[in-house]
Amino acid sequence: MHILGIESTCDETSCAIVVDGKKILSNVINSQIDIQAPYGGVVPELASRHHIEVISKVVHDALEQADCTLDDIDVIAVAKGPGLIGALLVGIHYAQGLSWSKNIPLIGVNHIEAHLYSALMSIEDSEVQFPSLGVVLSGGHTSLVRIDDYGVYTLLGQTQDDAIGEAFDKVAKMLGQPYPGGPHIERLAKEGNPNSYAFRCGQMKNAPLDFSFSGIKTSVLYKLFGNDLSKTLKDISDGEIQNAAASFQHAAFSDIVQKIDRALTTFDCQALYFGGGVTQNRYLRDLVAGKFSLPCHFPPKELCLDNAAMIAGLGYYAYKANPIDEMLSITAKTRFPFVGNTSPTA
């Protein structure tokens, strides 16, 4: 089954053609980083406008690279949320147009569920192990999810405030680094001492698997700029910045690793599957490898950040489980409970 996937939840416009959920024929990604970077973050209106400008070409290029035409496409899968509402609408309306004009069934896919799927995508079905723990670490989400099958999830923990990627971006901005800040924190941290500052992440008494990263961000601010915030970046040495980056990165990832460890005590977990842009981080991968003896699967680099291959891939399983055409019923949502059951037996 050839699935054409479309992703436009934030600042990447992407289209991919994937066969039977796993074989990627093309995965074209148009990133807006250069457009958004001068603003230090994503400006939603700019994101929507850029999606409109490039989406036709991105879809055209994806079909061409896959050596396909729309006549070869069996199903269209589009990210329906969570994401920026205007950005989502561009992808959804474009997908509806394609679906209507070529009479191809359209299915909506949850973006976070697709991040969870991205590590499963490069593994043969016979080697995928359930129940497993899914860990989404992205710019917008931080979630621990028990996965019992494709589409069968239980949310175990999530962030109560900032997402992990958002915290990296905000701390990087504080340290005078460009957007997106995650890779810059990782680079600075390589030169710093992770034990220089004892930063701590928030703990929720009644929700021990939930996360909180807003406090640690403020601790970095006061530690570097003084309690009265009287210092400016000019007063802070490169060494202090590197040490702050290393200590923040170490504290944030240690908290995640510790909560994964705790989540593993709640069921007979067979494997760990990671997803989301933050999972590109090498320090995180090394911490995880040093801590857990279970199989730990990370997506390949090109599937870590937002991309349509993961949307098309998951769309295959979602359509197989529930072959309905959502062309007229699909709606964009900024927030989405992605926990649920879309298995054939549901």
* Cβ count within 10 A of residue 286: 11
- Of 98, 12, 4, give the one whose Cα is nearest residue 311: 4
Shortest distance, position 270 Cβ to ligand KG4, whole Å: 25
The smaller minimum CB distance to Zn ion, of residues 138 and 247, is found at 138
- The answer to whether residue 113 forms part of the interface with Zn ion (CB under 5 A) is no
| CB 187 to ligand KG4: min, Å | 8
Q: Which token pair is 287?
A: 């911490």
Provide, rounded to whole angstroms, the least separation between the CB of residue 184 and ligand KG4. Answer: 8
In this structure, what token pair is assigned to residue 41? 């973050």
Q: What is the CA radius of gyration of the chain?
A: 20
Residue nearest to Zn ion as judged by C-beta position: 306
Binding of residue 306 to Zn ion (CB under 5 A):
yes
Shortest Å distance, C-beta 93 to Zn ion: 20
Q: Look up residue 31 and give its two tokens.
A: 């990133």
**H/E segment holding residue 164:** helix 164-174
Q: Please give the Cα distance from 236 to 225 (Å, whole number).
A: 8
- Pick one of 42, 119, 278, 311: the residue that binds ligand KG4 (CB under 6 A): 278
Using CB distances below 5 to 8 A depending on partner kind, what does residue 29 bind out of ligand KG4, Zn ion, none? none
Q: Which stretch binds ligand KG4 (CB under 6 A): 21-29, 33-41, 254-262, 272-280?
A: 272-280
Task: Tell me how many residues contact ligand KG4 (CB under 6 A).
Answer: 19
128, HSE (Cβ side, Cα atoms, 13 Å): 21
Interacting span for Zn ion (CB under 5 A) from 58-66, 93-101, 234-242, 304-312: 304-312
Binding site partner of 11, from ligand KG4, Zn ion, none, Cβ cut-off 5-8 A by kind: none
Could you give phi then psi for residue 317, rounded to 5 degrees?
-70, -40
Q: Which tokens sit at 26? A: 């093309």
Pick one of Zn ion, ligand KG4, none as the site partner of residue 134 (Cβ within 5 to 8 A by kind). Answer: none
Three-class SS string for 87-121? HHHHHHHHHHHHHHHHCCCEEEEEHHHHHHHHCCC
Neighbours of 176 (CB within 10 A): 12
Provide, rounded to whole angstroms, the least separation between the CB of residue 335 and ligand KG4. Answer: 13
Query: Considering only residues 160, 203, 280, 343, which one is a binding residue for ligand KG4 as defined by CB under 6 A?
Result: 280
Cis check for the bond before 180: say yes or no (omega within 30 of 0).
yes
Rounded Cα gap, residues 193 and 189, in angstroms: 7
Bridge-based pairing of strands 132-137 and 142-149 is antiparallel
Among 276, 299, 313, 315, the residue binding ligand KG4 under the rule CB under 6 A is 276
The footprint of ligand KG4 on residues 124-153 (CB under 6 A) is: 138-140
Rounded Cα gap, residues 195 and 316, in angstroms: 45
| Min separation Cβ 101 and Zn ion, Å | 28
**Binder among 6, 88, 92, 305 for ligand KG4 (CB under 6 A):** 305
Which 171-230 positions form the footprint of ligand KG4 (CB under 6 A)? 180-183, 186
Q: Is 166 in the site for Zn ion (CB under 5 A)?
A: no
CB 303 within 8 A of CB 24: no
Q: Which residues contact 117 (CB under 8 A, 6 or more apart)?
A: 150, 275, 310, 313, 314, 317
> Cβ of residue 169: shortest distance to ligand KG4, in angstroms?
5
Please give the residue ranges that form the binding site for Zn ion (CB under 5 A). 138, 306
Please give the residue ranges that form the binding site for ligand KG4 (CB under 6 A). 10, 138-140, 165, 168-169, 180-183, 186, 276-278, 280-281, 305-306
